[in-house]
């Protein structure tokens, strides 16, 4: 009886761990202390690799990173892997995109999926070609 109860308890704990999305990460978390990047317009996309709208934005973010290399900093932060960043940037919902001017001042914030055209328009409005 005790053995069955112990297995049930372990199974329940494992179930709760999986449901909560808790996972062990062996690698050191990325250092985001220099974000936003001083001297450069910065766009931060705060989301999670397993969030559906965030997954939809991933190819757009990869493209933006290549297109704006050297012109603007395009940064993705997984707030499920680096939970402190959600608190730091006051995130209540994902994905959230935040645009900063070269001085590091927040200029614009958007919550939810943000398409390529909207990102390009925001960057242009901030002087990035």
Q: Which residues are catalytic?
A: 51, 54
CA within 13 Å, CB half, 37? 14
Are the CB atoms for 72 and 128 separated by under 8 Å? yes
Report the distance separating Cα 125 and Cα 27, nearest Å: 38
Contact 122, 109 (CB under 8 A): no
Are the CB atoms for 26 and 94 separated by under 8 Å?
Answer: no
Asked whether 41 and 128 are in contact (CB, 8 A), the reply is yes
């Amino acid at each position: 009886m005790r053995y069955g109860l112990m297995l049930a308890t372990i199974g329940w704990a494992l179930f709760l761990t999986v449901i909560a999305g808790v996972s062990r990460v062996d690698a050191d978390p990325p250092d985001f202390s220099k974000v936003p990047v001083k001297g450069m317009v910065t766009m931060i996309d705060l989301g999670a690799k397993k969030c559906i709208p965030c997954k939809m934005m991933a190819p757009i973010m990869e493209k933006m990173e290549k297109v704006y290399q050297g012109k603007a900093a395009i940064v993705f932060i997984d707030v499920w892997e680096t939970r402190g960043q959600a608190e730091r940037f006051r995130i209540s919902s994902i994905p959230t995109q935040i645009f900063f001017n070269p001085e590091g001042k927040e200029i614009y914030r958007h919550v939810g999926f943000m398409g390529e055209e909207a990102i390009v328009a925001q960057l242009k409005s901030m002087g990035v070609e």
